[in-house]
Amino acid sequence: MVGREPPRQRGTAAATVRGGPRGLLAVRLPAAGRAGGAAIAAACAALALMAAAALLAPWLTAHDPVATDTSAVSLPPGTPGHPLGTDALGRDLAARMLFGARSSLLVGVVAGAATVVLGTLLGGLAAVAPRPVDALITRTADALLALPLVLVAMAIAAVAGSSFGTVVAAIAATAWMPVALIARAEVGALRERPFVRAARGLGLSRTRVLTRHLLPGALPPIAAIAAFEVGHAVLTESTLSFLGIGVPANRPSWGGLLADARSQMLSGQWYAVAVPAAAIVAAIIAVNVLATAFDRHAAAAGRTW
């Protein structure tokens, strides 16, 4: 019967909730060596290109990304004046991709940063706070991890209405848990180390020990996961926009472009779907490759004690 998803295997569902990323987000750097180096260079180049496209969008295209042109609808890529073609309302797809990069990457970076800050603060707090606060934070994190997070993000976005702020909040509110758990573990381990004990012994306040010694010491592993969080945020933003509850509908974003193009799939305009989808995939793979490299670098730098 069309319209019903086959039931997902229980084991897989549990594994994805507990066992880290899946699908696109699970893409990692190839084995170290020349291939790894090339991958890092390519990832850097791709991200730099995308960032440049986003920053320079108004100068890179003559078209207004929301202006319709009823005399130039559904043009294929390669049409003079419209390198990527136009959508069903005659909006230039190249302009929409460029301005869409602004929305998608901005949300990705801001939401990724918000996730990391929120997660680090909550995790650090859990590690040094009295037991009930620790329990509250870790149980909340566990409970959230057990939920399908896109559903939670959808609920937040649907209730609060679509805006950049809501999307960032929805992503941060549903992605802080892994960061918090890592931060908590790191800070917890650091607390017992001699230099921290020495700092306490010298009479430094709890807050000062936390901000001066504990959190900075926990940063390297958090930094590695931070990059993954950016990739996650880009994907979540696309998902929410695709579902119509992400960035406002009249502002182009990659996920929104996908949603717009969905209806054109059946009429053979595959490129309208392929272009934004390729951009999302490329951005996430590039971010993940860099994150893996950073992770390995941190490990190689002797983050073992």
Partner 1 sequence: MSEQRRSSRIRPWAAAAAGAAVLAAAAGCTGGASDDGAGASLTYALGDEPEQLNPVLVDEHLDPVTEMVFRGLTAHDADNRIVPSLAESWDVGDGGRTYNFTLRDDVTWHDGAEFGADDVVFTVREVRDGGLPTSHKFAGVEKVTAPDDRTVVIELAEPAPALLDSLSNGILPEHLLADKGIDDPEFGRAPVGTGPFRLERWEHREYAELRAFADYHEGPPGLDEVVVAYVPDAATRLIRLRNGEVDAASLEPRQAAQAAQAAGDDGTRLAVYPTADYRGILFNMADGMFDDPAPRRAMNHAVDREAVVTTVLHGYGAPASGPLDRSAFHTGGDGYGFDPDRVESIMADAGYRRNGDGIWTGDDGPVEFELTTFAEDGLRAAMIEVLATQLREQGFDVTAEPTPRDSVDWAEVQAFLIGWGTPYDPDGSLYGPFHSTEALGKGGSNYGSYANKKVDGALDRGRRTGGTEERRDAYADLQRELVDDPPYVWVSYLDAVNAVPADLEGPRERTLAHHGYGFFWNVHDWTRAD
Instruction: Between 117 and 160, name the residue whose CB sits nearer to partner 1.
Output: 160
φ/ψ of residue 120, rounded to 5: -65, -45
What's the token pair of residue 96?
Answer: 């929409």
What's the token pair of residue 118?
Answer: 């929120």
Instruction: Between 87 and 186, name the residue whose CB sits nearer to partner 1.
Output: 87
What's the token pair of residue 5?
Answer: 């998803």
Window 78-117: contact mask with partner 1 (x via CB under 8 A): ----------xxxx--------------------------
Window 236-265: contact mask with partner 1 (x via CB under 8 A): --------xx--xxx-----------xx-x
User: Count residues contacting partner 1 (CB under 8 A)?
Assistant: 28
Cα–Cα distances (Å) from 168 to 3, 218, 250, 292, in that order, read 31, 24, 18, 24
Instruction: Between 67 and 135, name the residue whose CB sits nearer to partner 1.
Output: 67
Instruction: Between 138 and 166, name the residue whose CB sits nearer to partner 1.
Output: 166
Residues in 1-30 at the binding interface with partner 1, rule: CB under 8 A: 1-4
**Which candidate, 282, 293, 276, 297, places its Cα nearest to that of 99?**
276
Among 26, 67, 143, 278, which residue sits at the site for partner 1 (rule: CB under 8 A)? 67
Dist. CA 249–CA 265, nearest whole Å = 20
Burial 239-248 (b: 16+ CB within 10 A, else e): bbbbbebbbe
Residues in 283-302 at the binding interface with partner 1, rule: CB under 8 A: none
Residues that bind partner 1 (CB under 8 A): 1-4, 66-71, 73, 88-91, 158, 161-162, 244-245, 248-250, 262-263, 265-267
